[in-house]
Amino acid sequence: MKFSIYRFDPEAGDKPSMQGYELDLVDKPHVRMLLDALIELKAVDESLSFRRSCREGVCGSDGMNINGRNGLACITPLADLAEPVVVRPLPGLPVIRDLIVDLTQFYTQYRAVKPWLVNHDPEPETERAQTPAERAELDGLYECILCACCSTACPSFWWNPDRFLGPAALLQAWRFLADSRDQDTGERLDGLEDPYRLFRCHTIMNCTDVCPKGLNPTRAIGKIKQMLLKRAG
């Protein structure tokens, strides 16, 4: 199988380039996902660099751009990929080396939405009750693995990474706004009421299209907008 992989070595001082690789898949039934192939290639060329951890789509380490589309290497079957498989780092972020990008901006945006539960009542001795229906509001939100596939697929993020929070952070903002136990609604909305932070979303929906967990940040952003409009009205 043929691959064309983005290479960048900051110490060599060269410009980034695409490097061709070939991997013989005969007698390698365990090589089924793109990550498996990258590991095989690295066993031959150890300078090829990428992040990985869980290898089953739950930790969010190996987000990359695969044949033009952001996704997780560990759950992208090789059988579904046209050759040569073109693998690039996630777009729109500084590249540290090869497929490894600098995610500082992405994590800063995550922190900016204060992604933690706030409840000012005295701590009860038992759990805070939540009905199954209230809990169901969190489905499709809490599962985010912070892989950055969505934000780095978003043109608004590319243009205004310093001012627009991006789909991943906004999904988290909604995850807490939607939680029946959270009491920080007013402050959360104040923090988002701004021409850029939230409203730069133009519902292009790249985020929802690429999310490897099948989540829908566009819908979450829409919900926040509705909440703000309701508050204004």
Partner 1 sequence: MKPARRRFDCLVIGAGGGGLRAALQLAQSDIHVAVVSKVFPTRSHTVAAQGGMNAALGNVTPDNWHWHMYDTVKGSDYLGDQDAIEYMCRAASRLVVELEHFGVPFTRLDNGHIYQRPFGGQSQNFGGEQAARTCAAADRTGHAILHALYQQNIRAKTHFFDEFFALDLIRDEEGFVLGALALEIETGEPLLIEAKTTLLATGGAGRMYRTTTNALINTGDGMGMALRAGIPLEDMEFQQFHPTGIAGAGMLITEGVRGEGGYLINRDGERFMERYAPHAKDLASRDVVSRAIAIEIRDDRGCGPQKDHVLLKLDHLGADIIKSRLPGIRESAIRFAGTDPIEQPIPVYPTLHYTMGGIPTDRHGQVVIPEKTGPEEAVPGLYAVGECACVSVHGANRLGGNSLLDIVVFGRAAGNHIVQYLDEHRFHRALDAAQVDRAMQRLARWEAHGDGESVPTLYNELRQIMEQYCGVFRSQEVLDEGLSKVRRIRERLIDARLQDHSRVFNTARIEALELENLVEIALATVSSAAARTESRGAHSRVDYPDRDDVNWMKHTLYTTDSEPLDYKPVRMRPMSVDAFPPKERVY
Residues engaged in binding partner 1 (CB under 8 A): 9-11, 29-30, 32, 42-43, 46-47, 49-61, 75, 77, 96-97, 100, 103, 107, 111, 114-117, 119, 123, 125-132, 134-135, 138, 142-143, 145-146, 176, 179, 181-182
Query: 55 vs 219, which CB is nearer to partner 1?
Result: 55
Minimum gap (Å) between residue 204 Cβ and partner 1: 26
Minimum gap (Å) between residue 127 Cβ and partner 1: 4
Query: 84 vs 115, which CB is nearer to partner 1?
Result: 115
166-177 vs 217-232: helix crossing angle, rounded to 10: 60
How many CB atoms are closer than 10 A to CB 91? 16
Query: 29 vs 195, which CB is nearer to partner 1?
Result: 29
Minimum gap (Å) between residue 10 Cβ and partner 1: 5
Minimum gap (Å) between residue 142 Cβ and partner 1: 5
**Please, are residues 212 and 149 in contact by the beta-carbon 8 Å criterion?**
yes
Query: 182 vs 193, which CB is nearer to partner 1?
Result: 182
Element (H, E) at 168: helix 166-177
Minimum gap (Å) between residue 191 Cβ and partner 1: 15
Query: 97 vs 219, which CB is nearer to partner 1?
Result: 97
Q: Which residues contact 130 (CB under 8 A, 6 or more apart)?
A: 180, 181
d(CA 123, CA 162) in angstroms, rounded, equals 37
Q: How far is CA 46 from the centre of its chain?
A: 26
Structure tokens at 186: 């007013």
Minimum gap (Å) between residue 176 Cβ and partner 1: 8
Eight-class DSSP state of 121:
S
d(CA 125, CA 66) in angstroms, rounded, equals 49
Query: 40 vs 84, which CB is nearer to partner 1?
Result: 40
Helices (H), 18-96: 34-44
